[in-house]
């Protein structure tokens, strides 16, 4: 249930017009409300969104779980279009008819915690019956599901680190003799080498890649060269010379027409269609394109990490999907059993194998990513996940902040602006909002 592409990247970013009230906490028994104990079978609802491939595997898991746990009642999936997911769940929470088990992204997870709408899971996760111990996940997996004071309210069910997909045919036509993955393996995949590759591609009449403005697209271009975006809860990229210079490099590439910005790609096209038509050398995406790219026999492609200062693996961004439990779930024990099995090694192996479109978030399930051998260097996804960063919690905890920052980056690129000035404007927007916990 990770984000997949530009449409899904925009999901849950807008601040809902609905105000979710603080829902009464009540006295919890075994981390659940007293009135949620159930005697006998109780049917429950699991809300989710996702691509057809993801939902097919999730549905199969639900059916398998129901067959093995029929005495507890039946769990059914409530699928909601991604663009209306957050608003629908918020409406249901206000109305008291929300799903028992809720899938969420970082910013929505933070909203649910702030509103006291979901169960604190820490004691349950580290209990005897849990198949998803807190120690089974790396620090990068928690994001907004873990509060500042160290409490856990959800688990990550899968992830999607951002890598560079490259079009071998385009690169070969441009005179790039060695594939980027081989260059990386040789320790030569530096920014200078990458710039030389860009120059050859542009000289052949093809754009290098599409520069996006979302945190997932843009921040890795700063961190891969050693830049810093947030430090000690504060947006600091404007004062980090490496980040400023890296962003200016991107602005200049767009200005020189070596790259597209996401808002100026040809009408009716996106980076995927340009890439598949051999009109783009690279895309920066997750594993979600595997079903699409693998079906095109004429498309020669593989993945590589972004270039770095020393040619070694660069730190990148990762989308994370979470699962949590409604405090008013009809049977919190059964809901937790479903959650811990869905997110376990066995659950993630089942859901993400056989052409899955995400990367495991739990330790021990990495083998599913390399099943089938596509792309050739699929292992880079699991390697990247070990150090990848999710949506910064500073942005996740302030409704609408990430979207506002993205709009500011859009404006800067549209005006071919100065990176330092642009980052200063974003800092002036972000830091007061982070301090107050809300946008002005």
Confidence of residue 278 (pLDDT cuts 50, 70, 90): very high
- 208 closest CA partner among 161, 271, 160: 271
Determine the average pLDDT of the residues in 419-431.
98
Look at residue 15 and tell me whether its pLDDT is greater than 50.
no
Using the predicted structure, report yes or no on whether residue 145 has a pLDDT greater than 80. Answer: yes
My answer on whether 217 and 143 are in the same domain is no
Residues 16 and 123 in one domain: yes
Q: Is the peptide bond before 375 cis (omega within 30 degrees of 0)?
A: yes
Q: Are strands 101-104 and 44-48 parallel, antiparallel or unpaired?
A: parallel
For residue 11, name the pLDDT band (cuts at 50, 70, 90).
very low
Residue 338 in this model has a pLDDT that exceeds 90: yes
Same domain, 182 and 304: yes
Q: For residue 8, name the pLDDT band (cuts at 50, 70, 90).
A: very low
In this prediction, residues 257-279 reach a mean pLDDT of 95
**Across 70-74, 118-122, 294-298, which has the greatest mean pLDDT?**
118-122
Average pLDDT over residues 251-266: 97
82 and 108, same domain (yes or no)? yes
Pick 33 or 383 by higher pLDDT: 383
Mean local confidence (pLDDT), 310-328: 96
Regarding whether 245 and 117 lie in a shared domain, the answer is no
- Residue 152 shares a structural domain with residue 259: no
Q: What is the mean pLDDT of residues 421-430?
A: 98
Per-residue pLDDT at 150:
94
Rounded Cα–Cα distance for residues 275 and 206 (Å): 10
Taking 80 as the threshold, does the pLDDT of residue 2 lie above it? no
Same domain, 150 and 255: no
Percent helix, strand and coil across the chain, each to the nearest 5 = 45, 15, 40
Stretch 200-217: mean pLDDT: 98
Query: Are residues 78 and 50 both part of a single domain?
Result: yes
Together in a domain, 185 and 273: yes
Confidence of residue 83 (pLDDT cuts 50, 70, 90): confident
* The token pair that represents 388 in the structure block: 């990848």
Q: How many CA atoms lie within 13 A of 430 on its CB side?
A: 29
> What DSSP letter does each residue of 390-418 carry, written as one string?
-S-HHHHTSTTHHHHHHHHHHHHHHTT--
The Cα 417–Cα 22 span in angstroms is 42
For residue 230, report the phi and psi dihedrals to the nearest 5 degrees. -120, 145
pLDDT of amino acid 415: 93
The CATH number covering residue 297 comes to: 3.40.190.10
What is the average pLDDT score of the chain?
90
If DSSP codes are grouped into helix, strand and coil, which group holds residue 289?
Answer: helix
Tokens of 376: 């050739």
pLDDT, residue 353, reads: 87
Domain count, the chain: 2
pLDDT for residue 168 is more than 90 = yes
User: Can you give the pLDDT at residue 335?
Assistant: 97
**Position 359 pLDDT exceeds 60:** yes
Residues 289 and 341 in one domain: no
On the question of pLDDT at 210 being above 70, the answer is yes
pLDDT band for position 440 (50/70/90)? confident
Domain range holding 23?
5-160+319-391
At residue 238, the pLDDT reads 98
Q: Enumerate residues 6+ apart whose C-beta is below 8 A from 116.
A: 22, 23, 24, 25, 327
Are 349 and 255 in the same domain?
A: no
The beta strand positions in 89-187, using DSSP E, are 101-104, 155-161, 163-167
Average pLDDT over residues 82-98: 91
What is the spatial distance between Cα 73 and Cα 60, in angstroms, rounded to a whole number? Answer: 17
| pLDDT greater than 60 at residue 125 | yes
Q: List 166's β-bridge partners, or say none.
A: 282, 302
- Asked if residue 103 has pLDDT above 80, the reply is yes
Indicate the pTM of the whole model. Answer: 0.89
327 with 298, same domain: the answer is: no
């Amino acid at each position: 249930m990770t984000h997949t592409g530009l449409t899904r990247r925009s999901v849950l970013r807008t601040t809902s017009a609905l105000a979710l009230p603080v829902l009464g906490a009540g006295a919890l028994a075994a981390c659940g409300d007293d009135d949620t104990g159930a005697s006998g079978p109780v049917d429950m609802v699991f809300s989710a969104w996702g691509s057809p491939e993801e939902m097919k595997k999730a549905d199969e898991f639900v059916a398998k779980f129901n067959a093995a746990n029929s005495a507890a009642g039946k769990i059914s999936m409530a699928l909601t279009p991604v663009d209306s997911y957050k608003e629908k769940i918020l409406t249901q929470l206000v109305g008291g008819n929300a799903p028992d088990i809720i899938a969420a992204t970082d910013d929505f997870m933070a909203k649910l915690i702030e509103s006291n709408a979901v169960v604190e899971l820490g004691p349950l996760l580290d209990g005897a019956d849990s198949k998803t111990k807190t120690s089974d996940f790396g620090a990068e997996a928690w994001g907004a599901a873990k509060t500042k004071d160290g409490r856990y309210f959800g688990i990550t069910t899968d992830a999607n680190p951002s890598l560079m997909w490259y079009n071998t045919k385009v690169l070969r036509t441009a005179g790039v003799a060695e594939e980027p993955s081989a260059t990386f393996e040789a320790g030569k995949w530096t920014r200078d080498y990458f710039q030389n590759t860009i120059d050859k591609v542009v000289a052949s009449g093809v754009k290098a890649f599409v520069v996006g403005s979302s945190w997932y697209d843009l921040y890795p271009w700063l961190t891969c060269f050693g830049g810093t975006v947030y430090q000690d809860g504060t947006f600091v990229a404007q004062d980090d010379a490496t980040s400023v210079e890296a962003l200016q490099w991107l602005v200049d590439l767009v200005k020189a027409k070596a790259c597209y910005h996401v808002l100026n790609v040809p009408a009716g096209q996106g980076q995927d269609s340009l890439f598949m038509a051999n009109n783009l050398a690279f895309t920066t995406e997750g594993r979600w394109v595997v079903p699409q790219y693998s079906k095109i026999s004429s498309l020669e492609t593989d993945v590589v990490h972004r270039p770095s200062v020393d040619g070694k693996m660069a730190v990148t961004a990762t989308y994370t999907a979470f699962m949590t439990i409604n405090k008013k779930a009809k049977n919190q024990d059964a809901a937790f059993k479903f959650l811990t099995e869905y997110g376990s090694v066995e659950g993630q192996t089942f859901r993400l194998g056989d052409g899955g479109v995400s990367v495991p978030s739990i330790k021990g399930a990495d083998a599913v990513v390399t099943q089938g051998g596509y792309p050739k260097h699929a292992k880079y996804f699991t390697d990247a996940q070990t150090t990848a960063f999710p949506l910064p919690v500073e942005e996740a905890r302030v409704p609408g902040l990430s979207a506002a920052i993205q709009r500011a980056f859009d404006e800067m690129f549209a005006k071919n602006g100065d990176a330092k000035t642009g980052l200063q404007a974003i800092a002036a927007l972000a830091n007061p909002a982070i301090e107050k916990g809300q946008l002005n």
